[in-house]
Structure 1
Amino acid sequence: MEFSIKSGSPEKQRSACVVVGIFEPRKLTLAAELLDNAARNHLSDIIRRGDMEGKAGSTLLLHNVPGTLCDRVLLVGLGKEKEFGDKEYGDAIRCAVRTLNETGAFDGTVFLTETSVRKRSGAWRVRQASIAAQETVYRFDQFKSKKDKVRRPLRKLTFVVDRRNELSAAEEALNQGQAIADGMSLAKDLANLPGNVCTPSYLAEAAQKMAAEHKIDCQILEREEMATLGMHSLLSVAKGSRQAPKLIVLQYKGGKADDRPIVLVGKGITFDSGGISLKPAPDMDEMKYDMCGAASVLGTLKAAALLKLPLNLTVLVPTAENMPGGGASRPGDIVTSMSGQTIEILNTDAEGRLILCDALTYAARFDPDTVIDVATLTGACVIALGHVATGLFANNDTLARELVHAGDEAHDRAWQMPLWDDYQELLKSPFADMANVGGRWGGSITAACFLARFTRKYIWAHLDIAGTAWKSGTDKGATGRPVPLLMHFLLKRAGKLT
């Protein structure tokens, strides 16, 4: 879809459809008032008759509105004005784009971006509108023999800002939103692929292709190289699978040569059967999403490269398939990690931390400014936070605050959880330096505490996205989170967030 920015009055727009908002009860926004004045109270007469109350999620499409130059006017309900915040704004944009895509209009001029949102700038509204619009029209249907076709799909959206002096900031915000949405689309495309297609080798090839396209350094470490490095924890996860594990190393160098990089580490379990600790059959198909951490850091890297952010960014993706088999790791096995610490594997379904710990040890060689790992790590995090917030753990409070703020700004929120040493007691093993699970209670915390043992040399945060990376049910699919959170964090670090 093509996007553009402009400033102007709604009644003067030569467009297939002009979109304006209505607050509840029956209150016209400024753009709607201007249309109404030009149309000699045509809109207010319709609203007065009860055709449109302004309830959130409601729409009313009008044709041939007098006094205007557009073919159609779409009224979008915004709910109560005093309750109109980040979520309500995003919902309104998605509702408008979804309706526009069904009307047969090739283009739309959206005045919702002029509508005030508490504590948010015009640039924020444009950036979020761009992301929400592309999310709404996203489809993953490449495996369908008969694809659902939109009769006349929406091809162009124009977002309107209040004043001409806002156009420059709005253009930059639009570019940022488009890049973030492109990164999210890549993350969703990879995560939605079935496990028989998206193998560790496929993921490595996708990374190489992206690296070539954006001139990013790329290295793929194979099983033999990882064994030489002592990554026996990572390799233990892949022992039951015919698919060879990989460690993907990508380096984007947009900053100064001596700038220490930000390192993103993404869990890449392309399918998680649980191994010998086999998962129950119901919903096991969703375990293709166990590489959403990998998909999200690759999507973030793509967005950063598209925007040419002036910073250095290193992305590490340890990737493997966790399957049962004659050579698979058994509960009770002991492995030695790259750090030299030994791990008793009590549960082979707690495999994500086993591949991450070696990647986190490897991250130290880049002398990182900051390391952030992203993983669909624990069902316990879903129990704690549901599907709204990502679990955030950090060994540095300043970094934790940065990530929480970035999540709030992106409306891709995270909630900080404790990482106290008290929980480390639960990982004790009588036979090794640690166990890979800490029992039933505080499962997301003990998983983070496990990872913390491998991150003492640098500033680090862990994002548990098990509850936010995908949706189940009729709308099943990857969400692209936390690409928006990570990109807002990087934009802030790069001094590019307006």
Structure 2
Amino acid sequence: MTVPKLALTENTEAAVGKTRADVVVIGIVQGADGPVLAAGAEVADAAFDGTLADVLGTLGATGKAEQVVKLPTLGKLPAGVLLAVGLGKQQDGTVTAEQVRRAAGAAARALAGTDRAFVTLSVLDLHAAVEGTALGAYAFTEYRSEKGDSPLARADFANPAEGTAREHKATLKAATTIAESVIIARDLINTPPNDLFPASFADRAKKLAEANGLDFEVLDEKVLKRKGFGGILGVGGGSTRPPRLLRVSWKPAKAGKKVALVGKGITFDSGGISLKPSAGMDDMTSDMSGAAAVLASVVLAAKLKYPLEVTAHIPLAENLPSGSAYRPGDVLTMYGGKTVEVLNTDAEGRLVLADAIVRAAEEDPDYLIETSTLTGAQVVSLGNRTAGVMGTDEFRDRVAGIMQATGEGGWAMPLPEELRADLDSRLADLANVTSHRWGGMLVAGIFLGEFVPEDLTWVHIDVAGPSYHKNAPYGYTAKGGTGVPVRSIAAVLADIATHG
């Protein structure tokens, strides 16, 4: 885990005057006639006799989102370098939290190798600046013989003008803990499948549970068979590395609501006998992103001591073709007794999730939140940065709204009743896919809904695109695992703790 040391300093004027940092960071807004200094830059501007915006404009700064411009201070400030990072255009006269988060991330990436940087973006939104800095500084270098530039080592944030020192410290702690939890998920996702498989994932989860006072239980293949977890066993049957089902739980002394988390943990997905094309198959190391997210989220709940009982149910399997692999045409008896005809072994995530959902529902939670890299149809429908959110209408809309507020981007999608008939099977209670490709994301949600009790408030978050970023880094998003939707789950848990 690579998290820079993050700390609060005094107010902006005192902190800039006394700083021993290498760099002072300010935000600039994209104005009609050039860059406009954002709040927090006043002291730096005074050191340049009120000409800082003009100087930055001369150097090509526009304030465009995530644009970074460095300027030597020539002794005008204690730090040797001033870094101006673009926040983009104001929206209705304000800068949003997501603009601050992305700008802070861009600044952190630009400061790789810097021992210490003083950041003034915090006066706009301390929580967003801390998250953006910590996540923007992330680098996964575990498997590189040459590590390259070290990540940003430290960032100090000026205390905002509003609020008390105690409130600011609480904000710093919460934002840092959330960022650390996102990084737990990113590290898991980025670990290659030869090192991360069901048993080794379980070992890592156990260590995290023990370190954070969580209850931990693992069911191996023998117990799964004895208890009838046909979905998990079917999917994992083709691998020499057998499946697991984890239960990781945070139970405070005074818990309010009970929340179940379920995350898909396919540690590698070849498609099984319905083999995927070779191009892009290496991305399927990320098919356990949902499992990583819910594990990180229950750890977060413990660290921030949410007054909720939060339990993560994590089905883990490796989907490979072999003589023992499940086949198209097989009928699986799922945990709880429902039967499923397998028409495509590459629609495996819904099978392991169905088992885990039934088990989670046995504990009578008030809410069930499931997330998974479930369908390529999600990417076709909503692209790589917007998750599809389905489930109980009111809760679905609540979660989608929270995802948009966190910057992770969720969009409410329907579960049309007429599509259920397309999952009818000639042999079993239902089939795992339809005979057509229409509405694939929605059909997968409908399939999962068949295993959710009617009276249980639930949501399914399809993060097939948002969980893994294949291109160059941007904002606070690194190449590889993103950790989506950990921040959103954290916000949903906090909302449930507050409003029920």
Q: Same fold by TM-score, threshold 0.5 exceeded?
A: yes
Work out whether 1:482 is the aligned partner of 2:479.
Answer: no
Match for residue 107 of structure 2 among 85, 88, 96: 96
Q: Find the aligned partners of 1:162 and 1:34 in 2 and give their Cα distance.
A: 14
Deviation (angstroms), 1:253 = 0.5
Structure 1 runs of 4+ aligned residues shifted over 6 Å read none
Q: From the two aligned structures, give the one with the greater helix fraction.
A: 1
Q: Find the aligned partners of 2:139 and 2:97 in 1 and give their Cα distance.
A: 24
Unaligned runs of 5+ in 1: 116-124
Deviations 1:276-321, CA, capped at 9 Å, x for gaps: 1111111111111111110111111122222122211111011111
Equivalent residue, structure 1, for 2:476 = none
Deviation (angstroms), 1:39 = 3.5
Q: Find the aligned partners of 2:320 and 2:69 in 1 and give their Cα distance.
A: 52
Q: Find the aligned partners of 1:163 and 1:350 in 2 and give their Cα distance.
A: 52
Q: Find the aligned partners of 1:488 and 1:55 in 2 and give their Cα distance.
A: 28
- Between stretches 167-176 and 430-439, larger displacement belongs to 167-176
Deviation (angstroms), 1:474 = 5.3
In structure 2, do the counterparts of structure 1 residues 33 and 464 end up closer, same or farther at CA, with 3 Å as the change threshold? same
Equivalent residue, structure 2, for 1:401 = 397
- Report the secondary structure of 1:76's partner residue: strand
- Report the secondary structure of 2:168's partner residue: helix
Equivalent residue, structure 1, for 2:495 = 492
Match for residue 184 of structure 2 among 183, 186, 208: 186
Checking the alignment, whether the CA contact within 8 Å between 1:380 and 1:442 is kept in structure 2 is yes
Match for residue 85 of structure 1 among 64, 76, 96: 96
Equivalent residue, structure 2, for 1:163 = 161
Checking the alignment, whether the CA contact within 8 Å between 1:218 and 1:251 is kept in structure 2 is yes
User: 2:481 is aligned with what amino acid?
Assistant: A
Deviation (angstroms), 1:381 = 0.8
Q: Find the aligned partners of 1:255 and 1:82 in 2 and give their Cα distance.
A: 43
User: 2:213 is aligned with what amino acid?
Assistant: K
In structure 2, do the counterparts of structure 1 residues 4 and 227 end up closer, same or farther at CA, with 3 Å as the change threshold? same
Equivalent residue, structure 2, for 1:122 = none
Q: Find the aligned partners of 2:361 and 2:395 in 1 and give their Cα distance.
A: 17
- Report the secondary structure of 1:495's partner residue: helix
Deviation (angstroms), 1:89 = 2.3
Checking the alignment, whether the CA contact within 8 Å between 2:371 and 2:460 is kept in structure 1 is yes
User: 1:158 is aligned with what amino acid?
Assistant: D
Give matches, 1:226-237, under 5 Å.
226-237=224-235
Match for residue 12 of structure 2 among 5, 9, 15: 9
Q: Percent identity?
A: 35
Question: How many correspondences in the alignment?
Answer: 482
Work out whether 1:327 is the aligned partner of 2:315.
Answer: no
Match for residue 262 of structure 2 among 257, 262, 265: 265
Work out whether 1:21 is the aligned partner of 2:27.
Answer: yes
Q: Find the aligned partners of 2:57 and 2:395 in 1 and give their Cα distance.
A: 52
State the TM-score, normalizing by the size of structure 1.
0.91
Q: Find the aligned partners of 2:191 and 2:52 in 1 and give their Cα distance.
A: 46
Deviations 1:332-389, CA, capped at 9 Å, x for gaps: 1111112211111000111111111111111122111111111111101110011121
Root mean square deviation, CA, Å: 2.2
Deviations 1:406-444, CA, capped at 9 Å, x for gaps: 212211121111112211011011111111002311111
- Report the secondary structure of 2:40's partner residue: helix
Deviations 1:136-177, CA, capped at 9 Å, x for gaps: 121112112222133xx5322122243263433222221111
In structure 2, do the counterparts of structure 1 residues 431 and 96 end up closer, same or farther at CA, with 3 Å as the change threshold? same
Checking the alignment, whether the CA contact within 8 Å between 1:7 and 1:164 is kept in structure 2 is no
Work out whether 1:424 is the aligned partner of 2:395.
Answer: no
Give matches, 1:104-253, under 5 Å.
104=114, 106-115=115-124, 125-150=125-150, 154-163=152-161, 165-253=163-251
- Between stretches 50-59 and 15-24, larger displacement belongs to 50-59
Equivalent residue, structure 2, for 1:280 = 277
Deviations 1:445-471, CA, capped at 9 Å, x for gaps: 111111101102422111111011101
Deviations 1:112-139, CA, capped at 9 Å, x for gaps: 2223xxxxxxxxx222222211211211
Match for residue 372 of structure 2 among 375, 378, 387: 375
In structure 2, do the counterparts of structure 1 residues 170 and 401 end up closer, same or farther at CA, with 3 Å as the change threshold? farther
State the TM-score, normalizing by the size of structure 2.
0.91
Unaligned runs of 5+ in 2: 474-478
Checking the alignment, whether the CA contact within 8 Å between 1:38 and 1:66 is kept in structure 2 is no
Equivalent residue, structure 2, for 1:121 = none
